[in-house]
A and B are shown apart, each in its own frame.
Chain A
Amino acid sequence: MPTEQTAARKGRRLRIARDSWVAVVIFLAPAVLVLALFVVYPIGFTFVRSFYGRLGDTFVGLDNFVRIFTQPRTLIALRNNAIWVLVVPVLVTSIGLVLSVLSERVRWTVAFRVFVFMPLVVSGLAAGVTFRFVYAHNPDVGAANAAIGTVIEVFEPPGDYAGARPSVPERVTEANGGFVSADKVSPGENALFGFVAIAPRQVPDHSTEAPLELTAAEDEIRGVVWLDFTPGGGGTRGAIDPGQQGLPDFRVALSKDGRTVARTTTEPTGVFVFDDLDPGEYSIVFEERNFREPFRGLAWLGPGLIMGALIASYVWINTGFALIIIGAGLAGINRDYLDSARVEGANEWQVLTRVTVPLLRQSLMVVLVTTTISVLKIFDLVIVIAPESVQAHATVLALEMWRASFGGARDFGLGSALAIILFLLIIPAMVLNIRRFRLED
């Protein structure tokens, strides 16, 4: 507040006497009454109520609080609230700080900030629905798993024959997720490798019937990789029966003394040929990448990842708040400090941590405190995003308070005690606010 105005107000105090109480009451009474009835009185009532049992007719002392600190479910809620408070305010503030500083350097500052602000007006419910779609388990459906799967498959593309097994296990040994022929093969010999456990849709369209006759020349090894399965039954395991399909594009390698000497892929008939070979004994290798499973998706909504999933969606909602407050703070600091630090040779990281952050101390505190209060009360996201079967792992105090009081048990004693714990946890922030306000005034 400009000092000029404060002085003016002090001057007014000397000249103008107290107002008539009638005018004061008319202006103040409606708000004061509502606040007293709906906020102040209930705090006292709930406090007293927390020492009484479920129905409110018996005094139980601290029993309700003892239950909160001994029952597994409320203990998980306490632990989860602790995780929220320890992780999220710092996370949101740091992201907000970095984005505020970065977004000042481009011409589209305002547009960028509008994008990030937008989720602030989105309800926890709508954000929750949105993220239920994002977190769907199947990578064909859920955006989060689709994105992760795309990145993974760039580096490790899935094999054409995921899950395939040799039809005669004795003919191969398993190695590095793939298979190696059990017997050595010499030039002039044939090698037959049947595979099973391949779904019809896994067999490529250009697959044709596997050849019944096979002749290898003197200097070549000739083999077939085929689907050793006759629809409707019949046929001999390990031998090519009429009508069985070749497996095209199978990656086959030839190794000698443990070193790979040649690679090829099978034809539509499943035939592969290694020619121009020196005499000797070779092994046929079917590498792991033929059988590599595609990315099946992470269980974001499962017990293991649900907290991370909830925190990510909270960050999505609330980074905009940090950006508004820190952005406003940033606009108010004197750029000469930053520029002179740069002239003195500080790099951008040093400017940020040693100059910008101290100058923004107040804005950063506002974001930290406000976010702490907000995550202590977190409720909507948890109840909407976490499926009921997982809520026991994701639960928080506010959710337990609602469940105990209105979610079936109707235990107003336990509910009141949970509400009081929330209230007590928020008191430090309350004191901080009052102090800050006294200083400002």
Chain B
Amino acid sequence: MRIRATRDRVVPRLLRFFNHAGVHAVLVLIAGLWLIPNIGLFFQSLRTPAAISQSGWWTVFGDLGSLTFDSYRKILSSAIIVRSVRNSFLITVPATFLVVSLAALAGYAMAWMRFKGRDAMFLIVVALLVVPVQVALIPIAQIYNVLGVFGSIAGLVMFHVGFGLPFGVFLLRNMYATIPAPLFEAARMDGAGHARIFFTIGLPLVSPAIASLAIFQFVWVWNNLLSAMVFTRPESAPLTVAIQQQMRNFGTNVDIIAPAAFVQLLVPLLVFFAFQKFFVEGITGGSVK
């Protein structure tokens, strides 16, 4: 903030100082409000169910010795939770890889290839950005039933790819479109085909956007609950579904729910901190979803 106060205007300066202190106070309060719930979840995951039902997690600061890893031992020895964590990765990694690959190809075509209906096709992609998954749950579930693949991890992966693609194509096509044309034309003049341009010019230049997309898709699929509730069976269910099924008896299953939810939360949080820059760029670059 540029302060234009002159030396003889002491009062406005004082006012600004207090104003400024107020701003700090408000922001500290808000930052606390935004931080505390997750800290609470973390401490709950280190407490016994009896302690959780009797006192708030903030009381642990008076008795740090009462913290225990028992709940984590319990989920590590729970076949359901361990399998669901594995499933979460088996669903999320392929769904991310496929969306990035297909979107990289299609985005390139929509930015740099010349064909009839290209712009109309891109507008359709923009339209599909906001389609709610609800319109596809019933028909896809029926198709999977007929094909005998209902409940398979592959089925859920493909569903995620379908609903991840509009954003992926949108983001990458816009990124490709920012590559200066002369670069591309020079390659064509040299006789390079699209495959070669795609790998040597296209991909390297949009790699930051690809990183953003991959992070987004990873977090989005990892966190998904609804589609997984519909398309998985107990043996293919991801962590979100496994936890949701314990929620009915929140009080008695709290020693599974708290640590499992913290693990569920920790993975995307680590991704966020590792790739924060790409994350923010991805949101500002593709903010329609």
Contact = CB atoms under 8 A, between A and B. Distances in A.
Contacts of A15: 185
B53 interface: yes
B282 to A, nearest CB: 10
A130 B194 CA distance: 49
27 contacts: A5-B181, A8-B181, A15-B185, A18-B115, A19-B115, A28-B105, A28-B121, A31-B102, A31-B103, A35-B162, A37-B162, A42-B136, A106-B24, A111-B31, A114-B276, A117-B272, A118-B269, A122-B269, A125-B243, A133-B258, A141-B52, A377-B134, A423-B131, A430-B129, A433-B127, A433-B288, A437-B123
Interface residues of A, number: 111
Interface stretch (A205-213, A216-224, A414-422): A414-422
Which of A121, A125, A376, A438 lies at the interface centre, i.e. has the most chain B CB atoms within 10 A of its CB? Answer: A121
B268 interface: yes
Interface string B131-147: 11111111111100000
B2 interface: yes
B158 interface: yes
Interface stretch (B35-43, B66-74, B75-83, B205-213): B35-43
A370 B138 contact: no
B185 A16 contact: yes
A19 B114 contact: yes
A11 B185 CA distance: 11
A412 B138 contact: yes
A182 B216 CA distance: 73
A434 interface: yes
A216 to B, nearest CB: 46
A38 B136 contact: yes
Interface stretch (A187-195, A243-251, A262-270, A320-328): A320-328
A1 to B, nearest CB: 7
A117 to B, nearest CB: 7
Contacts of A439: none
Interface in A11-58: 11-13, 15-19, 21, 23-24, 26-28, 30-32, 34-35, 37-43, 45-46, 49
B139 A24 contact: no
Contact of A143 (B58, B163, B288): B58
Interface string B13-50: 00000011001101100110111111011001000000
A201 interface: no
A324 B229 contact: no
Interface in A398-412: 398, 401-402, 405-406, 412
A174 B34 CA distance: 46
Contact of A43 (B34, B56, B131, B195): B131
Contacts of A146: 56, 58
Contact of B27 (A16, A19, A21, A106): A106
B65 interface: no
B127 A402 contact: no
Nearest to B284: A328
Which of A16, A99, A103, A422 lies at the interface centre, i.e. has the most chain B CB atoms within 10 A of its CB? Answer: A16
B193 A23 contact: yes
A142 interface: yes
Contact of A121 (B128, B195, B272): B272
Contact of A398 (B126, B169, B224, B226): B226
A59 interface: no
A379 B2 contact: no
B159 interface: yes
B24 to A, nearest CB: 6
Given A43-B131, A99-B30, A418-B134, 17 more contacts: A5-B180, A34-B161, A38-B158, A46-B139, A49-B139, A112-B30, A129-B261, A132-B247, A140-B54, A140-B56, A143-B37, A370-B288, A376-B132, A384-B225, A402-B230, A423-B132, A438-B123
Contact of A35 (B166, B193, B262, B271): B166
B154 interface: no
Given A23-B113, A126-B265, A321-B283, A42 B140 contact: yes
A104 to B, nearest CB: 8
A308 to B, nearest CB: 16
A346 interface: no
Contact of A105 (B1, B159, B184): B1
A131 interface: yes
B39 to A, nearest CB: 10
A122 B262 CA distance: 10
A343 interface: yes
Contacts of B159: 38
Contact of B162 (A38, A342, A423): A38
A130 B38 contact: yes
Contacts of B40: 130, 133-134, 143
Contacts of B44: 133
B9 interface: no
A115 interface: yes
